[in-house]
Copies of this chain bind each other. A is one copy, B any other.
């Protein structure tokens, strides 16, 4: 399993992914699920992936290859050379469709699931911040003002805190905290989501991603995790009681 969350705020994009993958419970490994493409001052695009690892690696490889080719030959269309970030989401969707067409029947013949989802976020010079979720079918949705975040993978455990605190107006610092608390709740409840984490922040109109890998001994993450656990217990014990007859 996997958990990735992307938040689109007025102040920027905040992206967080875990790194655990598993085939069953006895084959657990670490794989990066966040991929960044950047042309300083011009465009930044981030991808986060969940689902069948062969499928998502196939999509990311094909997209990366096109980006490399488009740097040499500007006629070639890639997520970094295309006109808009919306078009970039279409390109990711088309790549997903190709891989599904090629591999899905064989994967399913083995009794495995070929489903995969991808969060794509970014901004190009002259455009707005965008945040998309691309489905197995290659179609996609975009985050808006009302729901300024998107999740893939094991999304339920970490959703309540996002619903409670995330608005478009939320600051980047607060959004980082919310993403980390959301991840912390997920890690506690689902063994197949695990450390380390990859965090990326793309402040609006900077076309640049600040990234950080958060290992399990990361001091500030541990502080957030411990202090949240403590605060929840304190808040819980302070709640009024209900007496039943």
Interchain CA distance A243-B177 in the complex, whole Å: 10
Instruction: Name the residue of chain B whose CB is nearest to the CB of A171.
Output: B241
Residues of B within 8 A of A103 (CB): none
Residues of B within 8 A of A199 (CB): 242, 244
Chain A contributes a number of interface residues (CB within 8 A of B) equal to: 45
Q: B164, B189, B231: which contacts A159 (Cβ < 8 A)?
A: B189
Kindly state whether residue A140 has any CB partner on chain B within 8 Å.
Answer: no
For chain A, residues 173 to 192, give those with C-beta under 8 angstroms from any C-beta of chain B.
173-174, 176-178, 180-181, 185, 188-189
Closest beta carbon of chain B to A16's beta carbon, Å = 11
Residues of B within 8 A of A236 (CB): 161, 164-165, 177-178, 181, 228
For chain A, residues 143 to 194, give those with C-beta under 8 angstroms from any C-beta of chain B.
156-157, 159-161, 163-165, 173-174, 176-178, 180-181, 185, 188-189
- Residue contact A228 to B224, C-beta cutoff 8 Å: no
Copies of this chain present:
2
For chain A, residues 225 to 245, give those with C-beta under 8 angstroms from any C-beta of chain B.
227-229, 231-245
Spell out A's residues near B (CB within 8 Å).
156-157, 159-161, 163-165, 173-174, 176-178, 180-181, 185, 188-189, 199, 201, 210-212, 220-221, 223-224, 227-229, 231-245
Q: Could you list some 5 contacts between A and B, CB below 8 A?
A: A173-B242, A224-B239, A227-B239, A231-B235, A231-B239
